[in-house]
Structure 1
Amino acid sequence: MSIDLAGRVAIVTGAGGGLGRAHALLLARRGAKVVVNDLGGASDGSGGSISAAQKVVADIEAMGGEAMASGASVTDHLEVEAMVADAVGRWGRVDILVNNAGILRDRTFSKMELADFRAVVDVHLMGAVNCTKAVWELMRAQKYGRIVMTTSSSGLYGNFGQSNYGAAKMALVGLMQTLGLEGEKYNVRVNCLAPTAATRMMEGVLPQPMLDALAPERVSPAVLALVSEDAPNRKIICAGGGSFEQANVTLTVGLFIEDRPDAAEQLLAGHDIVADRSGEVIPVNATVQGQVELAKGGFDLAAML
């Protein structure tokens, strides 16, 4: 079964190069009309030019597709709303949003200025919030929407020198989980992508053969799957080098200690039991943790709700 995006309208942020460009080109090749959004700044967010977005638009048009360029900053909700209004004015709808825009300001936490922490969170997290908010009611009203949040292994598992980046990326997982629940009955599905790709942010970090193996184009099929008609909901898909995996936030069976004065000491002593992953589950929502915990004390939370 071939994924056909004919008639769909997509917005891809940070699409002037790297991953975003690869995503935009693939969606266009599958028939989507694409808003190519890119502020055109440096990897730390400084500067800006719409020329990179315009070049991608030209590439899409050269292969017979339809696209429009946007230099809106994802951190400015008014600019984002205007971008969405332009897309609706030209094509009548927005079906797909790929929140890909991001910046890096890496430093160890002890050396990091709070301004650099805020800047990264503002672009990655609030940028995705601004863009999602701008399309949310449109998607609910038309009973169709596919949204991809770009998370990262740095958020899922940690990475030295990236406390700001990791915090923002893990926050996007929480945003995805709740929006996936809220959008489900409107056929608005929300997922996360954790890419491993050679972009300008990785130049000089990895040897060239590895960079070649991690071409952005080898990640983009995951985006295509996540914005398709048959997309899943509330998944964290990892992709890189042509390989695809799923990350999960799980809950172990744990240890019931009850109300004991030495509960903390018992927790430390029994940590291996608490951490034992046999029998772990993937909670479908936030209440599952409480259900599991209360059930050990003889309470049925599900019956009370």
Structure 2
Amino acid sequence: MRAIVCEHFGTPDVVVLKDMPVPEPGCGEVRIRAHAAAVNFPDVLHIANKYQKNRQPPFIPGLEVAGVVDSVGDGVVRFRAGDRVCSSLDRGGTFAEYVIAAETRCSLLPETVSFATAAAMPLTYGTTLHALRDRGRLQAGETLLVLGAGGGVGTAAIDLGKRMGARVIAAASSPEKLALARNLGADETIDYSREDVKVRAREIAGSNGIDVIYDPVGSELSEAAFRALGWYGRHLVIGFARGTIPALPLNLPLLKNAELIGVHWGTAVEQRPDLYRMVMDDVIDGVASGGLSPRISARYPLEKAADALAEVAAGRALGKVVVEIA
């Protein structure tokens, strides 16, 4: 099979297209003939040896995939050859023509959901629904501030936040990203390349402050946003796309009776395998009904996966970037 392989750590251009053996599914696993895989910022971090859980080269990057089951291992009961599925793999390996996934990390797809759209769902929408609903307890009528609103998880947060009835403030680094956020339904926007997040968020939110912050960005923006939280606000830590892990003064959550909440989707579903199915069933139902609309900004063939990774690494993506395989 053809696969994209990271043979040594570095920037996205270090990955190469190679012929690799077709993997066999083990007990409790399915083999997926991949049609599409999505690119995420953690893929860039894995290749650069900067992720919290690193893999050693050589490895196949990629965390989200959609395709057709072509083989199942012993003990698999929910899937059979020919099923349309999507999956997220905490261990990676989706930038390949065949992908091995645990049965517990796969979801059936209706015919109405395309493979490209499905590939853009499991990690970004799974993470985000778990974050907003299960961890952040976002309620209809509350104010949600989304940092990094132009990227994959950011656009998912706008989409889900609006569906949950929140007032959404989208913060991003360019007019193009903010235009996309407004198109997705954001009520207000903040351009943090020229506006102070704390000041502007307080102006928009009013005296009650922000109820929930969705933060996949990190850096100095995290503290600035936290200072705009209202009483009993919740700050969801999703990731650190700007590369800097902030050190938040702990008197801030103390004085606001606020919560700083970590959200790691991969760890959550390892500890609670039932959680993956519960969350993804809701995501797929939302997409199939038209209530949710994952935004794909660019598509690349498998042999151009390095270019797809570079687009995400440079922060140019407006929504999700997808690698089309089959």
Asked if Structure 1 and Structure 2 have the same fold, meaning a TM-score greater than 0.5 normalized by the shorter chain, the answer is: no
TM-score when normalising by structure 1: 0.38
Higher strand share: 2
Question: Which protein shows a greater Rg?
Answer: 1
TM-score when normalising by structure 2: 0.36
Higher helix share: 1
More RCO (CA 8 Å, sep 6+): 2
